Chains A and B, each alone.
Chain A
């Protein structure tokens, strides 16, 4: 395996060929915000928070997907990127109904954390107050579409890790919704194994355990990376 040397925000870093800019940035403790990305799931580059500037490349590139290259000079925190990231977070807050005070994930929400990180104290864009339903048909878990940011982590973990493929994205554009089965109530989908992986990977309070109330949803994603790595080594099949 060969190695590529590059510069990220002035830090020189050597990475194995094929690794991503995101991994390289984390190696040198350069924080790049992410939402749709999760170690152990396939990258989709949909949230656009991890976009970075690469010298000599006219287009912004997603760090979660772009492989390192020799001599690359990467900037992750320019004023332009800071503004774009804040706008992305504002777009996410305004397209749903995110009321932190009454949310199960309050205090442990990745969207909330990103908002703090990018310095979003208010939204410059108007709130859209969409009318979205809540699905409480599953015996253990609930899905509150008001809090969903369509990161598709649940879709991917169910398909790629659990192998049940309960979740999908329905419709398009502003009407996109996460759907269970063929747009059935979650509780009516036989394919669901009740494993709860989707709840665990959800960055917000959209998917939650019914036993939790405000601020009680605590998630830890470390298990996913560990599970995927163990499977890759043939140590664990479940």
Chain B
């Protein structure tokens, strides 16, 4: 028989092994994580580097050419860094591909993305490089002594845009381009309907004119355009629509801690408003009907809300167009900020691509990525790219450059580089930067955003399908959207991540089994120790 010490040791060993098993089982669900990135003393320029850059373009040939030129120029400055470009036309697709590649550590080096998406990438430990130390690095930081191109200093990045890239206590991205939404208006039709565009657009005005535009003759032709089709108000991004309406109404959406406040009475009130105008046919969405620009240019839409980065598709003379020439209608295009509930306190979303750097095992490779990321903020890239659409450069260095000021001043000189609608859309953002906002970023904020848009899409679809929109419908809609995007689960996880207590649900069965085994072992140890103590006492007596 084993003596007490041996048995004790054995039992302890069993416990430790069980605990070890528990941890190893937990580990099975994880992945080999990267070490945190540490800035090397020197960037080793004697080595060769191959980095990948996943970029988004707006299906725009000029943008592709600018990316290619930026890469070629950068490679001529740093001949030992080879940059491979992979193009996407959809932020969602980049997001999906990145999250698919995180478990295998095969993320790109540099990636155009949204801060909301980065918050999800951060669930992979040390996957995204925090940038604040790199910003400040004396040699290779923003404006650093060893940078061999004319990049911006930190102070030259528009502070509001830079702040949009700070969350979870770090800067996880640099802004690349900024845009907002604009309302592209067929001013000719507005005036033909007997209205004059106000100085500031309101939801009431847009819906009133839209309803007026629904008048038809006895053959079913709309009086305003003489066609069978007219959807006076089309919104491209319904997630933005809901988020901005809630902001304008000072109603809840979310908190930085991940509290989801979307499902509130103001949201219902807004959905009833949407339902009213879907019912008459005065309002529709991109997902239901198609691109607002196509309807606008065919004279089948009066108010088209889309990104300022979609400006080159808007208007009779738009340089980019998806509809055949015979369908184009002549009209004057006005470009205005999105409709407001409170014109004294206008609110509009700030959006546009940001760029993040992914961590790698080799810190030198990360340094090469960081240099390329900075290069994307040089005037050469910023000015050229911003001129492709209604984008705004993110540095004051670019915004104040003579070349850029000259570009803005030549608004309307042609229907290509100086296309009036595009430059008006750019000016709209430049004049309203202080009225822009972003929503809090947390793991799950992407799903919440999707949910916000889904509320409008579902309501619009239901109205079109002749379903009853009432309180019962709204409650069910809230439940369905919560379930579809797992918003209740995400909310709990976000709170847990921020240190707030959250109900994590029942323990998994394996954990219950292991914990039970541990408790049993300790009970046996206790009984054995007690038995030995009593035996010893009896022997003494």
Are A and B associated in one complex?
no
